Amino acid sequence: MDSQATLSKLAISTRSGRLLSVMRLLLPVGWVLAAVGYFGPWIAHQAAALTLSGVDVGEFVKFLPSVVDGSLAVTRQLFYLPPFAIVVSIALLSNLAELNYPWPLRAFMLLVAIPVSLQLLPPAWAPSTLLVAEFRLQTFGLGICWLLLAASWLLGRLTPWLVGALSAGISLGALTLPSWQFLVAKPAVNELYRIPPTIGWGVFLCLVGLALMTAASTVIVLGTRARTPAPRIGE
């Protein structure tokens, strides 16, 4: 009976190890796709001036007439969740010992995270605007990003399922909440443009990247928990 249970646990551990190896490869792909998608067009238009990236949408929605008069409730800060989630996920997982990424890849991803984090800054910002009520939350988020990046090596020594769970939760929030707000705001955008603009490829690419981040982080949680031996009674 004991040998059967041991074999069963070994099989589960082997399967989780293989899945973890696959997600180890897909996680950096998710980071890159989400970042490229966020910088790409979310509102596509023939006129370049009317094409909006993810960060542009976060500012643009506050000028929609229905948002200005209060008839449409849009939380624009939610559009800044994707870059926040990308940076936090990189900080939490890039140095994780179980993933064993080579140092050039770790260094590259940490460098990539810096310009991504800067998307949280207000447009045409100055030191005096950072603590204005409208932008205070973005400034706070930027501070968290830089703090976590600076502590990335130490975060990689934390319990794998814990950092994986944090990454999965934040990535899932960044996947769902901005999508919801984008769909809420899109009819008002259509009305303002007169001729409804199309949804740009950046939205879909960003969502695919965030979905990969969520899936990979979840597998890290499940895989590392499955490979951790359960304590015996009396030990």
Quickly state the pLDDT bin for 9 (edges 50, 70, 90).
Answer: very low
Q: What angle do CA 195, 201, 209 make, to 5 degrees?
A: 145
Q: Domain ranges in the chain?
A: 14-227
Q: Bigger pLDDT: 89 or 22?
A: 89
Q: Residues 191-211: pLDDT tens digits?
A: 999 889 999 999 999 999 999
Q: How far apart are CA 181 and CA 173, in angstroms?
A: 12
Quickly state the pLDDT bin for 230 (edges 50, 70, 90).
Answer: very low
Q: How far apart are CA 210 and CA 52, in angstroms?
A: 19
Q: Residues 168-194: pLDDT tens digits?
A: 999 999 999 999 999 999 999 999 998
Quickly state the pLDDT bin for 10 (edges 50, 70, 90).
Answer: very low
pLDDT of residue 7 exceeding 80, the answer is: no
pLDDT of residue 226 exceeding 90, the answer is: no
The values of phi and psi at residue 17, to 5°, are: -65, -40
Q: Model's pTM, two decimal places? A: 0.87
DSSP state of 161: H
